[in-house]
C-alpha cells in the first residue's frame, strides 16, 4: 500500500472543509425533514402521499439549483460585458489619440470653430478700436 503524503492544513483548506461539512449537515437535515413529512403523509392516509411529497421536494431542489445557475450565468455574463465595454473604451481612447497626433488641425484648442480670423496659436486676428488697444 502506498504511503500517503502529508496534508497541508492551511486556513483555506479548513474553511473549505467547514463549508462542505455545513452543506452536508444541511442536506442531511433536509432529508430527515423530508422523510418525516413522508411519514406523516402516509400515516394520514393520503393517497400517493409518498410520491407527492418526494416529488414536491425534488421540484423545490431542482428549482433552487436552476435559480442559482441562472443567477450565476447572469453574473458571469454581466462581468464579461463590463470587461468588454472597458476594453472597447480603452481601445477607442488609444485610437482617438493616435488620430489627433497625426493631424491636430489648424488649432487644437478649437479656436478655428469660431467665426473670425485666428492665427496658428489660436489668437484672434481682427480689427481693434484703436492702436493703443493691444490685447
Q: What is the mean pLDDT of each run of 10 residues along the chain (135 residues)?
A: 69 92 95 92 85 92 96 98 95 73 55 59 63 51
Residue 1 within a domain: no
Residue 25 within a domain: yes
Residue 112 within a domain: no
pLDDT of residue 49: 83
- Please count the structural domains in the chain: 1
Residue 126 within a domain: no
Model pTM score: 0.52
Taking alpha carbons only, the member of 104, 132, 103, 127 closest to residue 117 is 127
Residue 133 within a domain: no
Is-contact 49 42, C-beta < 8 A? yes
Residue 39 within a domain: yes
Q: Which domain holds residue 80?
A: 11-103
Taking alpha carbons only, the member of 134, 114, 130, 132 closest to residue 122 is 114
- Orientation angle between helical segments 11-43 and 49-102, nearest 10 degrees: 140
pLDDT of residue 127: 57
Residue 22 within a domain: yes
Amino acid at each position: 500500500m502506498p504511503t500517503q503524503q502529508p496534508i497541508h492544513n492551511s486556513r483555506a483548506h479548513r474553511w473549505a472543509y467547514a463549508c462542505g461539512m455545513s452543506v452536508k449537515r444541511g442536506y442531511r437535515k433536509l432529508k430527515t425533514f423530508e422523510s418525516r413529512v413522508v411519514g406523516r403523509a402516509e400515516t394520514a392516509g393520503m393517497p400517493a402521499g409518498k410520491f407527492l411529497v418526494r416529488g414536491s421536494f425534488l421540484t423545490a431542489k431542482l428549482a433552487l439549483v436552476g435559480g442559482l445557475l441562472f443567477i450565476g450565468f447572469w453574473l458571469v455574463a454581466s462581468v464579461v460585458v463590463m470587461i468588454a465595454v472597458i476594453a472597447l473604451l480603452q481601445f477607442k481612447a488609444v485610437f482617438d489619440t493616435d488620430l489627433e497626433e497625426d493631424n491636430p488641425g489648424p488649432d487644437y484648442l478649437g479656436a478655428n470653430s469660431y467665426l473670425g480670423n485666428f492665427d496658428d496659436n489660436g489668437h484672434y486676428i481682427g480689427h481693434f478700436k484703436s492702436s493703443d488697444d493691444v490685447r
